[in-house]
Amino acid sequence: MLRAEKGKRARLQNIPVCDEIDPTMKVGTSPVAQPPVGILLPDRQGDMSPRIAAYLVSHDFSDPCLVIDVDIVEHNYVSLTRALPLANVFYAVKASPADDIVRRLADLGSNFDAASLTEIDLCLRHGVSPTRISFGNTIKKKTDIARAYNLGVRMFAFDSDEELEKIANVAPGARVYCRILVQCDGAEWPLSRKFGCEPDMALRLLCKAQRLGLDAYGVSFHVGSQQTDLSQWDRALQRVSSLFADAHHLGVDLRMINLGGGMPARYRANVRPAEDYAAAIMDALMKHFGPALPEIIIEPGRSIAGDAGVIQAEVVLISRKSDNDTVRWVYLDIGKFSGLAETMDESIKYRFLTPSDGGKTGPVVLAGPTCDSADILYEKTQYELPLDLRIGDKVQILSTGAYTSTYSSVSFNGFAPLQTICI
Residue (of 140, 200, 189) closest to 301 by Cα position = 189
Examine residue 196 and tell whether it contacts ligand PLP (CB under 6 A).
no
The one-letter code for the residue type at 253 is D
Examine residue 278 and tell whether it contacts ligand PLP (CB under 6 A).
no
Q: Is residue 371 flagged as an active site residue?
A: yes
Q: What angle do CA 9, 11, 14 make, to 5 degrees?
A: 175
Examine residue 301 and tell whether it contacts ligand PLP (CB under 6 A).
yes
* 129 vs 123: CA distance, rounded Å: 8
- Residue 216's alpha-carbon distances to 167, 213, 311, in angstroms, are 12, 9, 43
Q: What angle do CA 396, 399, 404 make, to 5 degrees?
A: 90
* 220 vs 52: CA distance, rounded Å: 36
Among 119, 163, 299, 307, binds ligand PLP (CB under 6 A): 299
SS3 112: strand
CB of 253 to ligand PLP, least distance (A): 24
Residue nearest to ligand PLP (CB): 261
Q: Which of 123, 178, 371, 422 is catalytic?
A: 371
Number of residues assigned to the chain: 423
Looking at the Cβ atoms of 166 and 302, the one nearer to ligand PLP is 302
Examine residue 303 and tell whether it contacts ligand PLP (CB under 6 A).
yes
- Residue 45's alpha-carbon distances to 17, 317, 350, in angstroms, are 20, 31, 14
Among 113, 119, 314, 333, binds ligand PLP (CB under 6 A): 113
Examine residue 190 and tell whether it contacts ligand PLP (CB under 6 A).
no
CB of 67 to ligand PLP, least distance (A): 20
CB of 11 to ligand PLP, least distance (A): 28
Span interacting with ligand PLP, options 23-31, 49-57, 67-75, 257-265, rule CB under 6 A: 257-265
Looking at the Cβ atoms of 158 and 415, the one nearer to ligand PLP is 158
Examine residue 140 and tell whether it contacts ligand PLP (CB under 6 A).
no
Dihedral angle at the C-alpha atoms of 14, 15, 19, 25, nearest 10 degrees? -160
Span interacting with ligand PLP, options 33-41, 255-263, 267-275, 276-284, rule CB under 6 A: 255-263
CB of 301 to ligand PLP, least distance (A): 3
* 361 vs 340: CA distance, rounded Å: 23
Examine residue 302 and tell whether it contacts ligand PLP (CB under 6 A).
yes
Backbone dihedral angles phi then psi of residue 382, each to the nearest 5 degrees = -75, 120
Give the residue numbers marked as catalytic: 371
* Interacting residues with ligand PLP (CB under 6 A): 92, 95, 113, 136, 222, 225, 260-263, 299-303
